[in-house]
Amino acid sequence: MPDSTNDKNVATANPRLPHVIIVDDEAALRVSLSQWLDLSGYVVDVHADAVSALENITPDFAGVILTDVKMPKLDGIAFTKSILKIDRDIPVILMTGHGDVPMAVEAMKTGAYDFVEKPFEPTEILENLQRAIEKRKLVIENRTLRAQITRQGTLDSRLIGNSQSMRALKAEIANIAPTEVPVLVSGETGTGKELVARAIHDLSTRSDRRFVAVNCAAIPESTAESELFGHEKGAFTGAASRRVGWIEHADNGTLFLDEISSMPLALQAKLLRVIEQREVVRLGSNTPVKVNFRLICATNEDLPSAVAEKQFREDLLFRINTFELQIAPLRQRKDDLPLLFDIFAERAAENFDRPYEKPPATLWGNLLGHEWSGNVRELKNLAERYVLLTGSPDDRWARLFNTGIGNNASAPSDKAGSLAEQLRHFEQHIIRDALIRHDGNIKPVMDELDIPRRTLNEKMKKLNIRRDTLE
């Protein structure tokens, strides 16, 4: 006779509740464990054998498998291997007798998440289940984002990240892109200012026209006027023919002036006239040429301070910053680090024709502990080096953080502490970060992390997290 708990099918259960599939041939254990987990806020699906359980496991299963090792028809080890063929990231926790511990350890080497030794109290398994559920939730979220990234022409395909600041940035871009107003993009070096400018262009009414990017800092001052405004034949020594400048080249399209703070003051005055009159005069000519372009500028400097220091024209600043977009540095959106690293590493593996072995989640602490002064550009470089290195994921990770990322990174490998300590650090960061984002309000944190209030309170107490000391 089937278990009564079998009526709770994970396919129709509340998707916001954590799911657990229990597989064990002992009826008493199935009943007691399922009842305990049900009272603890889990949706439970129970099976007496692994063969029937496999029929309910798909690559989009968002929960955890809790299985016995010794069972008829299909034992727990073979069952685990079958699950990992369906999806290598589904967490499998093995329940084993004392004599089967070596077998369970071997199963972990092939991909099982963890094991617990019988007999056990149900409370002993709750923490393992919670960690496994959180791991699975992160995997599912990242897959959803990667699926969005593959869609061409969307903001998610350009600007990777799901942190609060990135969501706000993408909303602002979608709002301002269809307009014609000048946009100033500000952010530290390596945050992706040109990427934002291109996204604005691609979502604008000028998307089928040119996007002309000019790095003002890379143009020599002696040739800057000719580069921007163009020249006529014979305008100066070496001007053997007429040349259309970058501004004129952007006619009917988008002109992106990167590092605009580097533009010489004399050229700033001429650029201001072009913006106001919508016409450009080539060097050596007296005839203005009408131009129609969308202007986007970018800076990694504080332009109001440059105005105060007489290094930048105030009237030009007023013209270029009708709407300002600020890109948060990577250290302020560390929620995006695992996904960004994953995407960059996958792209590098494809470009270099190398396999990509994903680092264990327990190693993410190194990413979270780094300041990322080079921002996304630095992370991309790190991901590419990881793919190019040889050895196990742990070895490569240790080499990266020993030699290539700086002294302020978290210590790798043997200096990182035990597995429990690293998991504690990671869990503490996730909860603290969620509390900070929601100004210490418990309810939205519960919803975001998908855990009951009691569990959240217990974890905050255990991890010494106090709302009145959050920064």
CA–CA dist 136, 138 (Å, integer): 5
- Of the two residues 235 and 379, the one the predictor is more confident about is 379
Q: How many residues in total does the chain contain?
A: 471
Cis before 119 (ω within 30): yes
| Amino acid 431: pLDDT | 81
Identical fold between 4-144 and 332-469: no
The kind and range of the H/E element at 279 are strand 279-281
Among the four given CATH numbers 3.90.79.10, 3.40.50.300, 3.30.420.40, 3.90.660.10, the one describing domain 179-328 = 3.40.50.300
Selection from 160-164, 269-273, 389-393 with the highest mean pLDDT:
269-273
* Vertex 139: Cα angle to 136 and 145 (nearest 5): 145
Is pTM beyond 0.75? Reply is no
Task: Reply yes or no on whether the pLDDT at 324 is more than 90.
Answer: yes
Percent of the chain with pLDDT over 90: 35
Topology of the domain covering 4-144 = Rossmann fold (3.40.50)
Question: Which CATH class, in words, describes the domain spanning 332-469?
Answer: mainly alpha
Q: Is the backbone of residue 131 left (phi > 0), alpha (psi -120 to 50) or beta? A: alpha
pLDDT of residue 309: 93
Give the residue extent of every domain in the chain. Answer: 4-144, 179-328, 332-469
User: Are 179 and 295 spatial neighbours (Cβ–Cβ below 8 Å)?
Assistant: no
Which of 364, 354, 350 lies closest to 401, judged by CA? Answer: 364
Question: Rg of the Cα trace of the chain?
Answer: 29
Q: What is the pLDDT of residues 111-158, one digit of tens each?
A: 888 888 888 877 778 888 888 898 888 888 777 666 554 443 467 667
Q: Give the model's pLDDT for residue 14.
A: 52
